[in-house]
Amino acid sequence: MMRPTWGAALFVMVACGPLMAAEPAATVRGVLQPLREARLSVDFSQPISQLPLKEGEAFRKGQVLVAFDCARFAAELKAQRAAWQARRLELAGKRRLLRHQAAGRFDVAIARAKAQEAAARVAVVKSRLAKCTLRAPWDGVVA
């Protein structure tokens, strides 16, 4: 759970404002509530490779909160990109054959569909890989 640091500071400034104006001292009780809170999670199970912060430590927007060991996803991305390249080459070959009337439109359509499927597989792995590093959505404190 993350809590913004400036939310508590703002509350303290407002609460302490009248006390600084030389008014009689008063005891104030209250509960500080975060202005924003986030619970971050991922939809896969991978070993953690980096956990740079401990509870109570402050962080800045965009700072890495946790990184997972996603070497498997990186390797899978390379394999899917190679498969996509092979499908694109196959499609280009079928189109050349079609121009010379050595292949039919159906062959080209199948090759195009296979290339699109390979591109979609690349996008899926890229999406998974992008989730391997969780960054702070705003400044805050690890709770």
Range of the domain at 25: 2-142
pLDDT at 44 (0 to 100): 84
The tens digit of pLDDT for each residue in 63-120 reads 999 999 999 999 999 999 999 999 999 999 999 999 999 999 999 999 999 999 999 9
- Band (7; pLDDT cuts 50, 70, 90): very low
pLDDT at 24 (0 to 100): 66
- Band (5; pLDDT cuts 50, 70, 90): very low
Q: Which residues contact 65 (CB under 8 A, 6 or more apart)?
A: 2, 40, 52, 53, 59, 134, 135, 136, 142
- Give the tokens for residue 17: 């404002």
The tally of domains found in the chain comes to 1
Give me the torsion for CA of 20, 29, 141, 35, rounded to 10°. -90
Check pLDDT > 60 for residue 18: no
Mean pLDDT score across all residues of the chain: 85
DSSP secondary structure letter of residue 62? T
User: How confident is the model over 22-31, as a mean pLDDT?
Assistant: 75
Instruction: Give start and end residues of each alpha helix (H) in 21-142.
Output: 71-99, 105-130
